[in-house]
Structure 1
Amino acid sequence: MLKDLQTGIREKRTVKMVYKNTQGDIRYQQVDPYKMTDKKLYGYCHLRKQEKMFNIEDILSIQLTDENYDNHID
């Protein structure tokens, strides 16, 4: 999974992500990943239409898409 996130960041590819939010709800999201640390993923969330931070430990699965993105950061 981490390898797919690194590929998404390097190749600027959107990922489909299954994520458990802070309330324990499962969310299906599309994210344009920008940066990853040991514990956090930073990216643009298509659902919220804004930059978000995700806890890597709460990511249940990742699927790379064939969609490329331009940075949404000003």
Structure 2
Amino acid sequence: MQEIKLREDYIKLGQALKACGLVSSGIEAKIVIQDGEVKVNGEVDTRRGKKLVDGDIVEFNGETIKVIK
């Protein structure tokens, strides 16, 4: 499980995938999110701009990201 430490109050879903190296670009992030391949807190979320806050869990391609403050 990877962790993302927040610098602000939130990070957007697309940015989180890119920051953890799970996608190589914002365009790739947009595609996998819109295709329903990404789960946030156990549910598919198709919004690239979804704001992730402390405690959120993102799952994609067998990887898990935890957002921490």
TM-score range, shorter chain: under 0.3
* TM-score scaled by length of structure 1: 0.27
* TM-score scaled by length of structure 2: 0.28
Higher helix share: 2
Please identify the structure whose Cα radius of gyration is greater.
1
